[in-house]
Amino acid sequence: MKTPLRMCVVCRQQFPKSELIRLVKQDGKIIIDKNNKIQCRGVWICKSSDCISKLKKSKSLNRAFKCEIPNEVYEQIGDYLQNGNINH
């Protein structure tokens, strides 16, 4: 069976789901969908340090979600990608 691939929104390369994290917009807030269970449009990001820093610099999520994402959200996502934890 082929592993389903998802595209990283920053580097535009495809990876197996397990190597990416999924972000969704719910009630106007961007949240990290840790269990891939939230049923709405999601954006995928890979865990490379390149993409983490580019994500913040290029504000890729503003485009992906078509809204203004506050800096602290980018910080949170960066922390999560780097350390694997988040305080909601």
CA–CA gap between residue 48 and residue 75 (Å, rounded): 15
Does 11 bind Zn ion (CB under 5 A)? Our answer is yes
Does 8 bind Zn ion (CB under 5 A)? Our answer is yes
Q: Can you read off the two tokens belonging to residue 58?
A: 């290029």
Q: For Zn ion, which stretch binds (CB under 5 A), given 28-36, 40-48, 68-76, 80-88?
A: 40-48
Q: For Zn ion, which stretch binds (CB under 5 A), given 5-13, 22-30, 33-41, 74-82?
A: 5-13
Does 61 bind Zn ion (CB under 5 A)? Our answer is no
Packing angle, helices 49-58 and 71-83, rounded to 10: 180
